[in-house]
């Protein structure tokens, strides 16, 4: 099933990422309840890396929003999470940048509402 036509479409409101299309590596739906619909992206709403110059101006340390480039398992810190089912408090929650985690350890990421999943994409050359 097509998720998006290109990278710009992938990070727009027109993409096809919903609970029914957010599948695991075996093609099975990812359980979203109990609260585990958060997926680790570390990206901005437009799918880009965070502007660390801007974060520095806001007094946010480098490596923020990505748990130090996905290398930290500290209780502190955070990584940006998206909602794979587009559910949440907004009418349609972003799949790629809904809110940050409350820490970088597995326990903290799980307590935020995530199973610690990463979202990967493949290109169908056909």
Q: How many CB atoms lie within 10 A of CB 45?
A: 14
Going along 6-113, which residue ranges are E strands?
38-40, 80-83, 99-100
Please write the tens of the pLDDT for every residue from 85-109.
Answer: 888 766 678 888 888 899 999 999 9
**How many CA within 13 A on the CB side of residue 100?**
14
Q: What is the pLDDT of residue 108?
A: 92
* Confidence at 28, pLDDT banded by 50, 70, 90: confident
> What is the pTM for the complete model shown?
0.79
Task: Tell me phi and psi for residue 52, to 5 degrees.
Answer: -70, -20
Task: Tell me phi and psi for residue 121, to 5 degrees.
Answer: -130, 150
Please write the tens of the pLDDT for every residue from 46-74.
Answer: 888 776 666 666 666 656 788 888 888 99
């Amino acid at each position: 099933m097509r998720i998006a036509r290109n990278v710009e479409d992938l990070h727009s409101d027109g993409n096809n990422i919903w609970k029914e299309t957010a599948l695991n590596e075996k093609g099975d739906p990812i359980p979203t309840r109990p609260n585990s619909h958060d997926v680790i992206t570390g990206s901005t709403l437009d799918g880009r890396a965070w502007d660390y110059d801007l974060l520095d101006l806001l007094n946010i340390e480098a490596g923020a929003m990505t748990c130090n480039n996905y290398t930290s398992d500290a209780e502190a810190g955070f990584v940006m999470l998206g909602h794979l089912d587009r559910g949440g408090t907004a009418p349609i929650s972003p799949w790629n940048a809904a809110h940050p985690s409350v820490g970088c350890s597995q326990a903290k990421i799980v307590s935020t509402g995530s199973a610690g999943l990463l979202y990967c994409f493949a290109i169908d050359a056909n």
